[in-house]
Copies of this chain bind each other. A is one copy, B any other.
């Protein structure tokens, strides 16, 4: 198995139970998650040795966030401690026509105050194979953006494969800010992952008929998006996840993968959702697993899509499934019959 590093922000996630709205809730389920942390946990569940880099406050919430990672096998040796607070996000689960809603309370988090030079990247990357980051990390703060650049530059320099999930977050920065930073960052990226919204917001790539709100899809248009993403970023491999949001409860889920110059389109899953948060992260983890394992492009893609389809049936941000469970889905065991 490979040695993999991811870097980003892990937050306390507070979610009401039973589809309650935030203003109804008198208790919250407390879990921990964040883009790159979710990728780390999933890769660890697939058997890799994974290190997660972040900065956490010196308080019980920082401890709990670290424990959440350790619990699922992620190495926390390179986590820095210090800073003001742990980021929080409140998640209101939507249902049917009512969308899920995220209220971010992540400003001033310990990781957002990271400064260049604080993370010993040389040491972190020594002997590692792969580095994964998302577009959320540089969006946290200008200094964090510098650290993100520092990280990919060093990873590339030390020979790691670098993947990046664009993950545009409109509550964190503007498209202009995102474009300025991300166009520098992708220079060091080998594998770019995104969806149509990311492409548009981060790189201004817009195709007629590609509509994030509607979610219906014309696969050829998406191929164009992928090709333009590859051109813009310089990455040879570009994956695009394709979510058809029929409602907050039901989605179709698939992806396409541009591997060098060949396109691969995955099977499409009709999902009845339990928790769609972390779907994209589990896709990234699945794809990295396939690529780092040297699988063929189609196989890696199918694994990534199946893994992330499974994720969306599991509560919490993290994809707590084994490779064997994903492979069973890839092989077409979708009947959901009780295993006993």
Contacts and interface: CB of A to CB of B under 8 A. Distances in A.
Question: Which label, helix, strand, loop or mixed, suits the secondary structure of the A interface?
Answer: loop
Interface in A62-87: 63-64, 67-68, 70-73, 84-86
Nearest to A19: B274
Contact of A215 (B14, B29, B269, B335): B335
A89 B338 CA distance: 13
Contact of A95 (B24, B214, B274): B274
Given A67-B72, A108-B108, A59 B103 contact: yes
A97 B269 contact: yes
15 contacts: A18-B29, A18-B315, A20-B315, A23-B64, A26-B30, A60-B92, A61-B105, A70-B73, A85-B105, A89-B340, A94-B313, A95-B272, A99-B333, A246-B335, A277-B338
Interface in A203-250: 212-215, 243, 245-250
B310 A98 contact: yes
Given A23-B320, A340-B102, A97 B214 contact: no
A196 to B, nearest CB: 12
Nearest to A85: B105
A21 B314 contact: yes
Contact of A23 (B20, B63, B100, B103): B63
Contacts of A118: none
A63 B333 CA distance: 24
Q: How many protomers of this protein does the assembly include? A: 6
A310 B19 CA distance: 12
What are the 7 tightest A-B residue pairs by CB atom distance, in nearest-first order? A248-B336, A102-B340, A71-B71, A245-B335, A22-B60, A98-B313, A96-B272
A339 interface: yes
A19 B314 CA distance: 7
A80 B250 CA distance: 39
A126 interface: no
Interface residues of A, number: 85
A31 B26 contact: yes
Contacts of A73: 67, 70
Contacts of A112: none
Interface string A243-282: 1011111100000000000000000010111101100000
Contact of A22 (B64, B89, B247, B248): B64
A271 to B, nearest CB: 5
A339 B97 contact: no
Given A21-B60, A23-B60, A213-B337, A313 B70 contact: no
B276 A338 contact: yes
A101 interface: yes
A313 B96 contact: yes
A336 B245 contact: yes
Interface in A1-47: 14, 17-31
Contacts of A100: 336-339
